Amino acid sequence: MNNEQIMSDNNIIKTNSNSGVTSPISAKRLVSKVNSLTYGNKSNLLTNPQSKSFAAEKGITLDYKSVIDELIKIYPVENINEFYSRVYGVIQQNIDSGYFAVGLYKEKSSCINLRLQDKLGNFYSTKVFMKDTENPLVQVFNTQETLFKEDVSFLKLAYFKNNPSIILPLISVNKCIGVMIVADNYARQNAELYTMISNYVALISHNMELIETSDKLVNTDNLTLLYNHRCFQELLADEMSRAEISKQNLSVIMLDICNITKINRDLGHAKGDEVIKLVAENVRKNVREGDIAARYGGDELAIILPNTSVEQAKYVAEYLTYALSCFYIDDVGPVKVSVGISSYPECANDKEKLLILAEQAMYISKARGYKDGMSAIISSADFNFWDDVALKSYAEVLGKRHAQLGVNFEEELLAKFNFDHESMSSNRIFEIATSLAGAIDAKDPYTKDHSTSVSRYSAALARAINLPEEEIERIRLGALLHDVGKIGIPETVLKKEGPLSDEEWVIMKQHPTIGAEKVLMPNASLRDLIPIVKYHHERIDGKGYPEGLSNGNIPLAAKIVAIADTYHALTSDRPYRKGMSIEKAVSILEEGAGSQWDADLVRTFISIAPSLGL
């Protein structure tokens, strides 16, 4: 730029388009850069800080070094608009400028988005489309040449028509990224300073844009270009904090794209990805401004809707599902999704509870299917918690999200469970207990369907020794709830692979007592199950827990459940081993007969064991 030359006849300053740099400017480099911005006499601006013509007309001294020092102190800042405002603040402190504007080029919309700030602190914004080739902003961007204008009516802002201004290209890394405008009656005399400022603004704008792009990549799902799961969790926490402060509603919509597993299996993962991308693209296009969409899981999308009630969220969900239903994919058919909604604070005050309830509602939507080609849109406020489908869906969610530490659903579950069942039939009580047991088993990833299997085995053994049918039913129900105390055991203990430490065993051994005292005791109709639940880990030799009872003191029903519990544990697959064969499991029971388990019951159980899998 040492050979720059002002051409007053056509109001243009030729600039060097190679002035961009690729790394942040240090103070030393910035001073060096200003020293290179000289007129034909090569005078050093820092050693001769007064601009003669400006000083003569304005009667003040413009200290370039002071301006540079102030500019350097601006960066870093939290956002680009704050940076622009502070740059203008430096200009105002040294020059009587009417306004300052920066316009960045947006390739997708082929326009320059201009943000203007006046000396009173007012902000204005406008767009200039690149097809308007007569507009001076477009001309400066295309030619990368500085332009002076006396009339700025091209801005189409009523208050800024007759302000002498300078328009400069913003050049970074040899590329024009936008334009900068400064209103200044002495713009020509200060052109070199503005060129230096425009280079600085271009560099920082480009750097911050790269940082923002990098952040987006870190927070963006590669396939859908929506936010990823981690970013979604952070954004939801922020939005819930804002909702709490402002006393506003907030809703979450959970979408499950149906049949993705089948599509991947039958048509290949490329077709499955095509469906997921199509849904994501339409969600992104059709959500409201301010809503936040993310890829929540493999085939699940989630949307945060700030300041939105359940009913308003349902309207948004209906619009989204209608938009998606209009698409037909070759070899797949129409796009279908299951939709669940939960709302803060109506449904939950806790972030994880809010998400689990939205997922539960989504599973219920999936179970209800479609009517007239449209998804069933379910809110967590719509269903009875003890509805069979609701409980099954709840167990599914817990099974998938069994790492939800600190979520006190257990307390809510027990509060719902411990109401007076006297008016309910025994079959209904058993149905509820089955769903509750399923939800508890879901907390422990090693024990899927464990409770129902132990219940079946126990009933078979009780029947084999000719107990009365009423007692058989009691044992069947008690066995179903034998592990219900695990509701109070931390999942770090339940999920641990391999042997438990001594401290962890102390915790695990509490589950029979928790089940008896916390779950069954408050419920009058279930108190007769307490001996089964509390003593199913006692041993014949008195070395069991929780009370170390020996043979004669252990209830018969608890002895039965103990054998059934052990047998299912031995024959079930675990992450660290495959389930044992019937022969191996039987041999272990035989070895412990008389010391760990009742010998007579073991003999009877061994005789029926081969038929239990039928």
User: Mind giving me the DSSP string for 556-576?
Assistant: HHHHHHHHHHHHHHHHS-BTT
For residues 406-445, one letter each, b for 16 or more C-beta atoms within 10 angstroms of the residue's C-beta and e for the rest, the string is: ebebbeebbeebbeebeeeeeeebbebbbbbbbbbbbbbb
The answer to whether residues 84 and 180 touch, using CB atoms and an 8 Å cutoff, is: no
Given the candidates 3.50.50.60, 1.10.10.410, 1.10.150.120, 1.10.3210.10, the CATH classification of the domain at 403-614 is: 1.10.3210.10
Q: Where are the domains of the chain?
A: 6-218, 220-383, 403-614
pLDDT band at 196 (very low <50, low <70, confident <90, very high): very high
Inter-helix orientation angle 599-608/582-592, to 10°: 170
Distance (Å, whole) CA 119 – CA 527: 78
Q: Residue 444: what pLDDT?
A: 59
State mean pLDDT over 64-93: 88
Between 25 and 304, the more confident residue is: 304
pLDDT in tens, 536-591: 999 999 999 999 999 989 999 999 999 999 999 898 876 556 788 999 999 999 99
Distance (Å, whole) CA 355 – CA 323: 24
Domain made up of 220-383: CATH architecture? 2-Layer Sandwich (3.30)
The listed range with the strongest mean pLDDT (17-21, 161-165, 368-372, 602-606) is: 602-606
Between 535 and 16, the more confident residue is: 535
6 has a pLDDT exceeding 60? no
pLDDT band at 34 (very low <50, low <70, confident <90, very high): very low
Contacts by residues 207-213 (CB-CB < 8 Å, ≥ 24 positions apart):
207/24, 208/79, 208/80, 208/83, 209/80, 209/104, 209/177
Residue 329: exposure state from Cβ atoms within 10 A (0-12, 13-18, ≥19): middle
What is the enclosing helix (H) or strand (E) of 339?
strand 337-344
Residue 51: exposure state from Cβ atoms within 10 A (0-12, 13-18, ≥19): buried
Q: What percent of the chain has pLDDT over 70?
A: 78
State mean pLDDT over 140-152: 94
The answer to whether residues 547 and 493 touch, using CB atoms and an 8 Å cutoff, is: no
Out of 209-213, 340-344, 354-358, 400-404, pick the least confident.
Answer: 400-404
The answer to whether residues 228 and 215 touch, using CB atoms and an 8 Å cutoff, is: no
Given the candidates 3.40.50.300, 3.30.450.40, 3.40.50.920, 2.40.50.140, the CATH classification of the domain at 6-218 is: 3.30.450.40
pLDDT band at 56 (very low <50, low <70, confident <90, very high): very low
Out of 123-127, 270-274, 523-527, pick the least confident.
Answer: 523-527
Q: Residue 21: what pLDDT?
A: 35
Q: What percent of the chain has pLDDT over 90?
A: 41
Distance (Å, whole) CA 544 – CA 81: 69
Q: Residue 3: what pLDDT?
A: 36
81 has a pLDDT exceeding 60? yes
pLDDT band at 26 (very low <50, low <70, confident <90, very high): very low
State mean pLDDT over 177-182: 96
State mean pLDDT over 55-65: 57
Out of 105-109, 117-121, 423-427, 587-591, pick the least confident.
Answer: 423-427
Kind of pairing between the strands at 175-183 and 165-172: antiparallel
DSSP 489: S
Inter-helix orientation angle 27-36/64-72, to 10°: 140
Distance (Å, whole) CA 72 – CA 78: 15
Q: Residue 158: what pLDDT?
A: 72
Inter-helix orientation angle 426-443/469-480, to 10°: 30
Q: Residue 27: what pLDDT?
A: 41
237 has a pLDDT exceeding 90? yes
Could you write out the DSSP letters of every residue in 105-145? Answer: EETTTTEEEEEEEETTS-EEEEEEETT-TTSHHHHHHHH--
Q: Residue 376: what pLDDT?
A: 84
| Average pLDDT across the chain, whole number | 81
Residue 337, strand partner residues: 257
> Considering only CA atoms, which of 239, 359, 231 is closest in space to residue 299?
359
Q: Residue 350: what pLDDT?
A: 84
> Considering only CA atoms, which of 387, 297, 395, 292 is closest in space to residue 338?
297
Which tokens in the block code for residue 147? 């332009």
What is the enclosing helix (H) or strand (E) of 302?
strand 300-306
367 has a pLDDT exceeding 70? yes
pLDDT in tens, 467-487: 999 999 999 999 988 988 887
The answer to whether residues 436 and 391 touch, using CB atoms and an 8 Å cutoff, is: yes
Q: Residue 203: what pLDDT?
A: 93
Q: Residue 59: what pLDDT?
A: 45
State mean pLDDT over 260-268: 86
Strands of 12-74, DSSP E: 12-13
182 has a pLDDT exceeding 50? yes
- Give the distance from CA 388 to its chain's centroid: 29
Out of 5-19, 21-35, 174-188, 517-531, pick the least confident.
Answer: 5-19
Residue 101, strand partner residues: 116, 181
Supply φ then ψ for residue 137, to 5 degrees.
-65, -40
pLDDT band at 111 (very low <50, low <70, confident <90, very high): very high
